[in-house]
Amino acid sequence: MNTDYDSWADIYDEVYSFLDYDINFYLQKASNIKGNILEIGCGTGRITIPLMENGANITGIDSSQKMIDRLRIKVASNKDAIKLIKQDVRALELSQKFDLVIVPYRGFQSLLTVEDQINALNSLRNHLKPGGNLIITLFVPGKDLFDQRSDIFYHLRDSRYTEGNGYRSLHHRTEFDHHNQLLHTQISMTEHVDDYLISKRYANFTLRYLYTDEARYLFKYCGFRIEEITGDYDGTPYDRDSEETIWSLVVR
């Protein structure tokens, strides 16, 4: 399946409310440069807004108009401090080049074929200034991931959403297409008050996983030099126990 990110716009913040451990990493990267920053997959502004508030000159790109619309509402009082554009990363047509391009979290893995990934990397390379930096993060597929059963919804977390006893509960299940290296995931979000189920909805997304050696070859094939690979946002060196890879790339 291809992910319909428009259908995610109104629940994205709730699903990913826990995700903040990479924000300081991007703030630090942005503070090290004085130029323009391009964020791919800006969504509803999880990374974009902190960068903007920290004074970064940032342009956000997303393929979902509804995601961009929600982000525009959030930054309405600072709308001149940020550029938000609906475009496809595989065929960017922007009027400027950038000193830093970031593809946070699972953005790059939303590209579901090698051809899509190559097209995106070529497009990004063409929008980097000489000496510019491209940062891509990927999760490392491991045993814990593939041990999941596709017929079981696994609990993610609960969160309060009203005063009193109202709470939301998130679960997920994943089907694996090992031939194409695809994860087809369904999120279930239920709302409860006390012991009563008030509502339930589902949202689907698909990601493509890459093995580290595969990613290494792909980046080099598309004209990038690997400046650094870390296994965490604190700079921990990548090793076989790493669950993430953070790639810092420059144009060769």
- CATH code of domain 5-140+210-251: 3.40.50.150
Extents of the domains making up the chain: 5-140+210-251, 143-208
pTM beyond 0.85, yes or no: yes
Query: According to the model, what pLDDT value does residue 167 have?
Result: 87
Residue 163: per-residue pLDDT: 65
Count the Cβ atoms, other than its own, within 10 Å of residue 116. Answer: 16
pLDDT tens digits for range 23-59: 999 999 999 888 999 999 999 999 999 999 999 999 9
Compute the average pLDDT of residues 172-178.
95
Length of the chain: 252
Q: What percent of the chain has pLDDT over 70?
A: 98
If you average pLDDT over residues 90-114, what whole number do you get? 96
**Is the pLDDT reported for residue 162 higher than 80?**
no
| HEC readout, 145-168 | HHCCCCCCCEEEEEEECCCCCEEE
Q: Who contacts 68 (Cβ-Cβ below 8 Å, separation ≥6)?
A: 42, 60, 62, 84, 85, 86
Q: Which two tokens stand for residue 105?
A: 């979290």
pLDDT in tens, 220-252: 999 999 999 999 999 999 998 999 999 999 998
